[in-house]
């Protein structure tokens, strides 16, 4: 399949125009499914002992997949497992296929059992394992086809963050750097990464982290900055920064309401002069731009044994 073209979307497109919404799945249900596969990927990556880049890449693959395919036709556990398999290859943290199939199934069953009865099959049975492995490989091909094999477009905010902090003489392993990375990871579990480009999310995370820690962000005091303000290192405008910070504040507020917050929003006000400058300069809204293109969808069905003696027709 050819390239998909579009990689970033508006909030309206994400909330009302996805294939899942067209299939009758509510916005709330789709958000719930999105949270499920992100939590799945975090636990999956921990079990496989892969890094944050691999986990984040797997999440991005799922996000992009479900902007083109419906949850109603594609089991998120299969898609998430297939995405992790592909992410391990893309990031060069390769894991054994059998380990990915086994661990992915076990975690998926745990998620499933919290909502309803499990499928009844045993991944330890040879034939069942073989069919599950084949389904994961089929899913990997579908994920690649759905995103048009455009792997070079999978960009994460960690690289622009590290480069900018280095130019700002800030340690990426210090308090500001570590909290910023945590905020980025939170963003990657939401649709913000489908609306804003990586450098915007990196800049917004720095601004929010600095507010939370009540620390100044170096700018004019750094010789190599040549009098520029810090966000110029991220190549974002004040309007873009304003918008992404506002959306991140909303994200943290919702997580606080659900008792999952990294901090207690709204972001604390500070008398620090640098923070006043930030609030003054980021004075207007301008949502991130996105490219436009027609969507590309592929459907697939496979016959899988949900029990060694009983065949059941399923889809991804």
Domain holding 193, by residue range, is: 158-281
Any idea how long the chain is?
Answer: 316
pLDDT, average across residues 46-58: 97
pLDDT, average across residues 242-266: 72
Are 67 and 88 a contacting pair, CB within 8 Å?
Answer: no
Examine the domain organization and report whether 141 and 217 are in the same domain. no
pLDDT, average across residues 221-232: 67
| Both tokens assigned to 177 | 């750097």
Examine the domain organization and report whether 205 and 142 are in the same domain. no
What mean pLDDT, rounded, does the chain reach? 80
Res. 224 pLDDT band, cuts 50 70 90: low
> Is there a domain that residue 130 lies in?
yes
> Is there a domain that residue 193 lies in?
yes
Instruction: Tally the domains of the chain.
Output: 2
Examine the domain organization and report whether 205 and 266 are in the same domain. yes
Q: Checking phi first, is residue 227 left (phi over 0); if not, alpha (psi -120 to 50) or beta?
A: left
Examine the domain organization and report whether 204 and 234 are in the same domain. yes
> Is there a domain that residue 295 lies in?
no
Q: What is the C-alpha to C-alpha distance for residues 169 and 12, in angstroms, rounded to an integer?
A: 39
> Is there a domain that residue 218 lies in?
yes
So what's the pLDDT on residue 217? Answer: 85
Pairing relation of β-strands 301-307 and 310-315? antiparallel
Q: What is the C-alpha to C-alpha distance for residues 20 and 31, in angstroms, rounded to an integer?
A: 11
Examine the domain organization and report whether 32 and 123 are in the same domain. yes
Examine the domain organization and report whether 226 and 246 are in the same domain. yes
Q: Does residue 67 register a pLDDT over 70?
A: yes
Domain boundary among 96, 123, 148: 148
Q: Does residue 311 register a pLDDT over 90?
A: no
Are 171 and 177 a contacting pair, CB within 8 Å?
Answer: yes
Distances (CA, A) of 113 to 116, 119, 253, 311: 5, 9, 30, 21
So what's the pLDDT on residue 3? Answer: 47
Examine the domain organization and report whether 24 and 141 are in the same domain. yes
* Helices 175-187 and 52-66: angle between axes, nearest 10 degrees: 30
97's CB contacts (< 8 A; 6+ apart) are 85, 133, 136, 137
> Is there a domain that residue 304 lies in?
no
Q: What is the C-alpha to C-alpha distance for residues 105 and 86, in angstroms, rounded to an integer?
A: 16
Q: Does residue 158 register a pLDDT over 80?
A: yes
Rounded to 5°, angle at Cα 47 from 42 and 53: 50
Q: Does residue 121 register a pLDDT over 80?
A: no
Domain boundary among 148, 176, 210: 148
Domain boundary among 119, 148, 177: 148
Examine the domain organization and report whether 162 and 270 are in the same domain. yes
So what's the pLDDT on residue 113? Answer: 73
> Is there a domain that residue 287 lies in?
no
So what's the pLDDT on residue 141? Answer: 98
259's CB contacts (< 8 A; 6+ apart) are none
So what's the pLDDT on residue 90? Answer: 97
| Both tokens assigned to 101 | 């199939």
Are 33 and 71 a contacting pair, CB within 8 Å?
Answer: yes
Res. 4 pLDDT band, cuts 50 70 90: low
Nearest alpha-carbon partner for 293 in 5, 3, 2, 1: 5
Could you report the per-residue pLDDT of 275-290, keeping only the tens digit for each?
333 333 333 333 333 3
> 12-26, 74-88, 97-111, 118-132: lowest mean pLDDT where?
118-132
Res. 294 pLDDT band, cuts 50 70 90: very low
Q: Does residue 203 register a pLDDT over 80?
A: yes
> 54-58, 124-128, 235-239, 310-314: lowest mean pLDDT where?
310-314
Examine the domain organization and report whether 208 and 263 are in the same domain. yes
CATH of residue 87's domain is 1.10.472.10
């Amino acid at each position: 399949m050819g390239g998909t073209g579009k990689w970033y979307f508006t909030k309206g497109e994400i909330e009302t125009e996805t294939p899942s919404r067209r299939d009758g799945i509510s916005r709330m249900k789709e958000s719930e499914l999105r949270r499920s596969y992100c939590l799945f990927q975090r636990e999956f990556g921990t079990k496989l002992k892969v890094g944050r880049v691999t986990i984040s890449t797997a999440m991005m693959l799922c996000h992009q997949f479900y902007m083109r395919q419906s949850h109603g036709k594609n089991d998120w556990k299969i898609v998430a497992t297939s995405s992790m398999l592909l992410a391990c290859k893309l990031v060069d943290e390769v894991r054994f296929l059998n380990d990915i199939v086994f661990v992915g199934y076990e975690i998926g069953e745990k998620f499933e059992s919290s909502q309803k009865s499990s499928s009844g099959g045993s991944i330890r049975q040879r034939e069942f394992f073989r069919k599950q492995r084949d389904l994961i490989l089929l899913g990997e091909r579908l994920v690649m086809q759905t995103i048009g094999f455009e792997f070079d477009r999978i960009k994460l905010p960690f690289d622009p963050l590290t480069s900018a902090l280095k130019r700002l003489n800030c340690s990426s392993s210090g308090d500001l750097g570590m909290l910023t990375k945590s905020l980025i990871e939170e963003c990657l579990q939401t649709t913000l990464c489908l609306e804003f480009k990586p450098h915007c999310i990196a800049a917004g995370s720095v601004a929010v982290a600095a507010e939370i820690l009540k620390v100044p962000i170096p700018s004019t005091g750094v010789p190599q900055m040549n009098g520029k303000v810090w966000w110029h290192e991220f190549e974002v405008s004040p309007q873009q920064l304003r918008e992404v910070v506002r959306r991140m504040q909303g994200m943290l507020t919702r997580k606080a309401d659900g008792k999952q917050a990294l901090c207690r929003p709204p972001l604390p006000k500070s008398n620090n002069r640098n923070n006043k400058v930030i609030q003054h300069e980021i004075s207007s809204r301008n949502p991130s731009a996105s490219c436009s293109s027609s969507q590309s969808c592929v459907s697939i069905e496979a016959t899988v044994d949900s029990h060694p003696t009983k065949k059941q027709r399923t889809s991804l």
